[in-house]
Structure 1
Amino acid sequence: MADRLKNDYDVVVVGGGAAGLNGALMLARARRSVVVIDAGTPRNAPASGVHGLLALDGTPPAELLERGRAEVRSYGGQVVSGSVDAVVRDDDGFVAELADGRRVRARRLLVATGLADELPDIPGLRARWGRDVLHCPYCHGWEVRDQAIGVLATGPVSVHQALLFRQWSDDVVYFSRGIPLTEEQAEQLAARDIRVVDDEVAAVEVADDRLAGVRLGDGTVVGRDAVAVSPRMTTRAGFLAALGLLSTDHPMGEYISTDETGRTDVPGVWVAGNATDLVAQVGGAAAAGAMAGGQINADLVAEETRVAVRARRESRSAEPVVASR
């Protein structure tokens, strides 16, 4: 079988979203042996289409990923279903341990596992996530333009989120959920004609498979066609803990810290996409994966060159000295 997991690769890519697949594509085109290990749980699976991606706007997420897998495979890369539970150092490389007991060794590691969205515990919210419960106006704003939008406060970026969605609709209601506003924030919302509701939010109402509104604690329903909420975003990279690579806290969640190329503080490990950039959209994640893939190849070339130079010097020093006449 073409995608049967082998024992050793130049690079193991953990995560088969836009970042992981584009990183693998760059590496496969560089004639590296590369495998993508993908758990099959993309963050954007509930969405009907990927937006803001030039020439591919509106493409269903599953279709985009399937096309990406085909491209990686066309250059000799592999895509294997599985979930990585742990990664440990092994001499000058790494061993990735899968949940089903399989193990695979790699000289370098690219982590592109994305993140998980933690939503408030409000009945009805999760079921509508990615449909008419949204988070990103650039991803979904056009689709809910001129509709009645509610914004549920969750933390420090919620007011900013409400102000952004006001660009797409003049009917925006901000549900503070007991989180106090500063004087400046209250003034900003009032200046943009965004009504503030301070009552408790009890549930999200659904009727005829469509969001109908936000039900308050007293039973009142504020009619809304869409609801925006800023989730807490947490990286899916706990398996890196054995390498000493821990997540960094952020007001919006947590992420793995890297430099601008995706390189981490652990030699040989790169991270790309939402696992290190909480606000990256699909295009940005793909670009970061491509950058990391190129950097990993360059790092391997540098290592191979050092080895070759050392071997050449040792070979020359071992040559017998011929006495001159």
Structure 2
Amino acid sequence: MTNHNSSISDVLIIGGGAAGLSAAQMLGRSRRSVLVLDSGEPRNAPAQGVHGFLSRDGFSPAELLATARAEAREYGVRTIHGEAVAAAGSVAEGFAVTAADGRVLRARRLLITTGLVDELPGIPGLRERWGRDVLHCPFCHGWEVRDQAIGVLGNGPWSVHQALLFRQWSANITLFLNELVLPSAEELEQLAARGIKVVAGMVESLRVEQDRLRGVALAGGPEVAVDAVVVGAQVRARLDAFAGLGLKPEPHPMGIGNFLPTDADGATDVAGVWAAGNVTDVRAQVLASAAAGAWAAVAINNHLMAEEMAADLSAYRQSLMLNGAGIRAGVSQ
């Protein structure tokens, strides 16, 4: 059991989303002192509901996080609002994270669950509808737009795949090439076979009326009526604050942005620092992020336990030597 009154926490978690709060709860239940630094900017904030999360389907993101924070508090977890701007330290000396307001938070181990930022094309109307009727993941939101007219905005090599994938949820799919996508002959055949319309030309804007998406306007061309738009955003891991630790994002092999690589337990290349959630797994939905946070928490607890065991064992052996004890360790006479 650790001292929860210490100014140095066992674990500092940067990011209070599903991954961070899941880890916080697990570590709190392990009787660790845990501090969560949360900027209050979850990636899924614009979404009306969380889906694919067993027993929590349809919960608003805010409701889910409020429930998670309350649960974590029951185990002594403290959450403070703020943004990390710098980090330094090591396992030997401990870690220090500086918040934007100047506070310095100290801990024996760090867990980064800062998530990522979706970088959308600069098409008028797109950002404002993000998470509502401008979507990216069929498994997150496909059910909500089933059987509707869905436009897939060409934004890179994965746009054809998105169009083919969303065809499972609706027979009315239009792929806008947007002068950024050039399907191969094989892909054009696949699109035709699935009844997906292909529209050339540059997308100029989205038309919205009475707070509802109505259509996609092409530059110098017609407007195509749609109820929802799908776009594959580039993603950027939120890691600027951790450059001082030597942590840098790497290009994602899928060509969709960058991420922070870790091992299977969430450990980064920097000893004593773990990561979980979208910052390291861009495909993870909320449930998967929560699971990754819990598993990283187990790994962190075990790492701390090994350090504590080594320290106690060293002190125990030293006491035996000082006392001249000759009995076998742990055996009463």
TM-score category, normalised to shorter length: over 0.9
Following the alignment from structure 1 to structure 2, what is the Cα–Cα distance between the partners of residues 259 and 131? 34
**Does 2:230 align with 1:228?**
yes
2:198 aligned partner: 196
Q: 1:228 Cα deviation (Å)?
A: 0.3
**Contact 1:53 / 1:283 at 8 angstroms: preserved in 2?**
yes
One-letter amino acid matched to 1:142: W
Report matched runs for 1:17-32 at 5 Å.
17-32=17-32
Following the alignment from structure 2 to structure 1, what is the Cα–Cα distance between the partners of residues 94 and 57? 39
**Contact 1:6 / 1:104 at 8 angstroms: preserved in 2?**
no
One-letter amino acid matched to 2:166: F
One-letter amino acid matched to 1:15: G
SS of aligned partner of 2:213: strand
2:86 aligned partner: 86
2:262 aligned partner: 258
Q: 1:320 Cα deviation (Å)?
A: 3.8
Q: 1:219 Cα deviation (Å)?
A: 4.2
SS of aligned partner of 1:273: coil
Following the alignment from structure 2 to structure 1, what is the Cα–Cα distance between the partners of residues 225 and 321? 83
**Contact 1:7 / 1:103 at 8 angstroms: preserved in 2?**
no
Count of paired positions: 318
Following the alignment from structure 1 to structure 2, what is the Cα–Cα distance between the partners of residues 48 and 162? 23
1:128 aligned partner: 129
- Cα gap change, 1:193 to 1:6, in 2 (>3 Å): farther
One-letter amino acid matched to 1:24: A
Report matched runs for 1:34-49 at 5 Å.
34-49=34-49
One-letter amino acid matched to 1:288: A
One-letter amino acid matched to 1:83: E
For residues 272-294 of structure 1, what are the alpha-carbon distances to aligned partners after superposition, in whole Å with 9 as ceiling and x for unaligned? Answer: 00000001000000000000011
Report matched runs for 1:124-163 at 5 Å.
124-163=125-164
Aligned match of 2:289 in 260, 285, 288? 285
Following the alignment from structure 2 to structure 1, what is the Cα–Cα distance between the partners of residues 287 and 114? 16
TM-score, reference length from structure 1: 0.96
Unaligned runs of 5+ in 1: none
Following the alignment from structure 1 to structure 2, what is the Cα–Cα distance between the partners of residues 152 and 7? 50
Following the alignment from structure 1 to structure 2, what is the Cα–Cα distance between the partners of residues 188 and 289? 39
**Does 2:316 align with 1:307?**
no
Q: 1:245 Cα deviation (Å)?
A: 1.1
Q: 1:235 Cα deviation (Å)?
A: 0.5
One-letter amino acid matched to 1:222: V
Q: 1:160 Cα deviation (Å)?
A: 1.1
Q: 1:186 Cα deviation (Å)?
A: 1.4
2:76 aligned partner: 76
One-letter amino acid matched to 2:310: R
Segments of 4+ moved more than 6 angstroms? none
One-letter amino acid matched to 1:216: L
2:8 aligned partner: 8
Following the alignment from structure 1 to structure 2, what is the Cα–Cα distance between the partners of residues 22 and 177? 40
TM-score, reference length from structure 2: 0.93
One-letter amino acid matched to 1:86: A
SS of aligned partner of 2:278: helix
One-letter amino acid matched to 2:66: E
SS of aligned partner of 1:274: coil
For residues 147-203 of structure 1, what are the alpha-carbon distances to aligned partners after superposition, in whole Å with 9 as ceiling and x for unaligned? Answer: 000000111211111111100000000011112112222121111111111111000
Following the alignment from structure 2 to structure 1, what is the Cα–Cα distance between the partners of residues 117 and 33? 29
Taking only aligned residues, the RMSD between alpha carbons, in angstroms, comes to 1.3
Following the alignment from structure 1 to structure 2, what is the Cα–Cα distance between the partners of residues 157 and 307? 52
One-letter amino acid matched to 1:95: A
One-letter amino acid matched to 1:201: V
Q: 1:6 Cα deviation (Å)?
A: 7.2
- Cα gap change, 1:308 to 1:181, in 2 (>3 Å): same
